[in-house]
């Protein structure tokens, strides 16, 4: 009996919190155990508390079909808006279509769908990934004095952010004919795979002066492989992207030469604001861009403030 009473009280509390909220928003995160996505989720929770918005989170666990089902579930519940961090940027068309047909606002966050032009009622809040690659390579080109061999560690090949970040690197390389790409393979955003990939390159006798990684996790993995191989810190310059606490710590320890800051808190708060504006019928940009920023060793303390 007591257990039933407690259960009823818990359900009543949840209902009262839900009812007290100004709006209800469903959020599907591609993979909640991903380091960067954890910060996006935390940012959404913080922003929702400030705005008195009730958020229901779902973990897509890297599964496109699961994520589509989650979106359809939110639409069936008639939430006020939906926010999605997509599993696969090439597989968002059905989600977009379903939201438009239901006339419920949809915000894609962090990853821009492959469809560059989205219908009315659907917006994207992200950062321009080409810009991130450009910032990485300009920094490295100066460090290498315009000459050398580089290896590129790619993220998940299903994500346009992987393509765009790498494209940014290659755009800058057009101005530096003395810098050559000797390796380019995917480590799927993961530290352990970045480590294994770099170890394999070293075992194969591949020589390079720098490594450009599409994110910090893979960059840290590469640095760990170089340490295991007896390379001195900084002997091979490594640059990542994200600027999360682990990446900042790696720069301080000399494992990474630099990184590029992608602001998860700003992406999250901007996504929530965009959703609220659309719910209210207020105008909002179709694409909201949160700028990237280069992080050099002397600037680490400035970026650490984002996580305090």
How high is the pLDDT of residue 35?
Answer: 87
Residues of the chain above pLDDT 90, percent? 89
Cα(93)–Cα(257) distance, rounded to whole angstroms?
39
Neighbours of 143 (CB within 10 A): 16
- Residue 14: the pLDDT is 47
Query: In CATH terms, are 2-127+264-290 and 129-261 the same topology?
Result: yes
Judged by DSSP in three states, 31 sits in: coil
Kindly report the average pLDDT of the chain as a whole number. 93
Kindly report, residue by residue over 277-292, the tens digit of the pLDDT: 999 999 999 999 999 9
Homologous superfamily of 129-261 in CATH?
A: Response regulator (3.40.50.2300)
* Whether residue 107 has pLDDT greater than 50: yes
Q: Please state whether the predicted TM-score (pTM) of the whole model is above 0.85.
A: yes
Give tens-digit pLDDT for 180-194: 999 999 999 999 999
Mean per-residue pLDDT, 267-277: 98
- Report the chain's terminal Cα–Cα distance, integer Å: 44
Q: Is 67 helix (H, G, I), strand (E, B) or coil?
A: helix
> 224 pLDDT exceeds 90?
yes
> Is pLDDT of 203 > 60?
yes
| From the candidate CATH numbers 3.40.50.2300, 3.30.465.10, 3.30.70.260, 2.60.40.10, the one assigned to the domain spanning 2-127+264-290 | 3.40.50.2300
Each domain of the chain, given as residue ranges in start order, spans 2-127+264-290, 129-261
Measured distance CA(305)–CA(54) in Å, rounded: 27
Q: What is the pLDDT of residues 156-173, one digit of tens each?
A: 998 899 999 999 999 999
Share of the chain above pLDDT 70, in %: 93
What's the average model confidence in pLDDT over 204-230?
97
Does residue 87 contact residue 56 with C-beta atoms inside 8 Å? no
What pLDDT sits at residue 22? 87
């Amino acid at each position: 009996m007591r257990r039933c009473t407690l259960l009823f009280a818990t359900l009543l509390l949840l209902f009262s919190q839900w009812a007290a909220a100004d709006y209800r928003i469903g959020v599907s995160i591609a993979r909640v155990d991903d380091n960067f996505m954890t910060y996006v989720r935390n940012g959404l929770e913080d922003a929702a508390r400030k705005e008195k918005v009730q958020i229901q989170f779902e973990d897509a666990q890297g599964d496109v079909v699961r994520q589509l089902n989650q979106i359809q579930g939110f639409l069936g519940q008639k939430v006020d808006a939906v926010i999605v961090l997509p599993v696969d940027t090439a597989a968002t068309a059905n989600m977009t279509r379903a939201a438009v047909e239901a006339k419920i606002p949809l915000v894609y966050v962090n990853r821009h769908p492959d469809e560059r032009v989205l219908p009315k009622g659907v917006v994207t809040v992200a950062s321009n990934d080409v810009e991130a690659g450009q910032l990485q390579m300009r920094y490295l080109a100066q460090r290498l004095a315009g000459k050398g061999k580089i290896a590129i560690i790619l993220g998940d090949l299903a994500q346009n952010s992987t393509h765009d970040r790498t494209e940014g690197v290659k755009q800058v390389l057009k101005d530096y004919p003395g810098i050559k790409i000797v390796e380019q393979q995917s480590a799927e955003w993961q530290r352990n795979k970045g480590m294994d990939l770099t170890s394999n390159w070293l075992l194969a006798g591949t020589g390079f002066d720098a490594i450009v990684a599409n994110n910090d996790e893979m960059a840290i993995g590469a640095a760990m492989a170089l340490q295991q191989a007896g390379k001195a810190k900084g002997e091979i310059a490594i640059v990542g992207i994200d600027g999360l606490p682990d990446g900042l710590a790696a720069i301080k320890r000399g494992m990474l030469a630099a990184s590029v800051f992608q602001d998860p808190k700003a992406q999250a708060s901007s996504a929530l604001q965009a959703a609220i504006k659309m719910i209210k019928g207020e105008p909002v940009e179709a694409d909201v861009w949160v700028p990237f920023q280069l992080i050099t060793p002397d600037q680490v303390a400035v970026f650490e403030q984002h996580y305090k």
